[in-house]
Amino acid sequence: MVTIATHEAKYIEPQVDLIWKVTDKWKYGYQTSYETVRNAYLRDGFDPKSRFYAFDGEELVGFAGVNISENSEKEKIGSMRLPIAIDGDMEIIQSLIDRIESYLKDKGASKIRAPSGVGLGNTIEVAEKLGFVQGPEVFRRTYTDVKDLKISGKTDDVTAFTENDKEDIRNLFMTQMGMPEAQGEGFFNWALNNHERKNKNKPNSSSWQIIRSEDGIQGFSFLMKSDHLPWIANSMPIFFKGEGDKARDIIDQLLSAHLKTLDGVKVVGNYLLPNLYKLEGLYNSFGYTFDPSYMNTKDL
């Protein structure tokens, strides 16, 4: 019989260690760092009662946490990753979700949502067992071996991102990436902040490549090495104009321009939002393979 406790600072290191241990063999693990979690829990609005730790004696054997937000109808919704437990123990996972649900009901939330997907352990099965309803795909993701990328190495038309490119790239994120303007600008700011941060701390740990012509930007691609897993580099969907051979040439050159940053990296990550699923075949021709991810919901 496990006991459930809420957050205390002394649980941070065991929490991170447990996450690494449980998700280490997942294709898309949740690995993080002590510092990242510690900083997250120092932010304004963090509620220590929203994190739940399952102990077997002194050993941490399970963990779950949840955040609450409001949708446009002012409905409170709990967002979380599904509980994890040593050896996937469903009794521990069920105990944790029971505490999550009780916490959310006390806060006036009406439902929970949690992701699952291929490459995320057995989260699809766990979500079903916990009574979640699987929704449609929310995106497709990949970790593709760098050695499997089918690229030429040609970079004749590529230039590196500079200060002069900021406003043009910002505008493309807001108008051409298939997202609402505010979300597109948010993604741009996230990429820009990480690009500047990573190259300041460790040059060549981030790569932002652009192809321009007289008609403006024809394509760009952003990629950066993982903070915690140096053998992984994550990228954003490639922006390009045109079709057929023109599109293939732009993508080929942009990927080839990342090779210096990819030196020593084993896998490169990317994702496709639903409006980009039509491009999966094109990405596949460069060696990418994608897995589906879902958002599951449960009414309280």
Q: What is the pLDDT of residue 217?
A: 95
- The confidence band for 50, taking pLDDT boundaries of 50, 70 and 90, is very high
126 with 158, same domain: the answer is: no
101 with 150, same domain: the answer is: no
Q: What is the pLDDT of residue 236?
A: 87
Q: Is residue 300 part of a domain?
A: no
Taking only the tens place, the pLDDT of each residue in 125-173 is 999 999 999 999 999 999 999 999 999 999 999 999 999 999 999 999 9
Cα distance between residue 195 and residue 208, in whole Å: 8
- Residue 5's beta-bridge partner residues? 53
* Sheet strands (E) in the chain: 3-6, 51-56, 59-70, 76-80, 84-85, 111-117, 133-145, 158-160, 206-213, 216-225, 232-235, 239-240, 267-272, 291-299
127 with 146, same domain: the answer is: no
Domain containing residue 18: CATH number: 3.40.630.30
Query: For residue 173, what is the enclosing H or E element?
Result: helix 166-176
151 with 282, same domain: the answer is: yes
Q: Is residue 11 part of a domain?
A: yes
73 with 159, same domain: the answer is: no
* Dihedral pair phi/psi, residue 37, rounded to 5°: -65, -45
Average pLDDT value for residue range 247-268 = 94
Q: What is the pLDDT of residue 109?
A: 96
* Dihedral pair phi/psi, residue 68, rounded to 5°: -110, 135
- The confidence band for 227, taking pLDDT boundaries of 50, 70 and 90, is confident
How much of the chain exceeds pLDDT 90, in percent?
A: 85
Structural domains in the chain (count): 2
Taking only the tens place, the pLDDT of each residue in 183-222 is 999 999 999 999 999 888 888 899 999 999 998 999 999 9
pTM of this structure: 0.87
- Residue 60's beta-bridge partner residues? 55
Domain edge (last residue) among 112, 131, 150:
131
Q: Which domain holds residue 86?
A: 3-131
66 with 101, same domain: the answer is: yes
Taking only the tens place, the pLDDT of each residue in 62-97 is 999 999 998 878 899 999 999 999 999 999 999 999
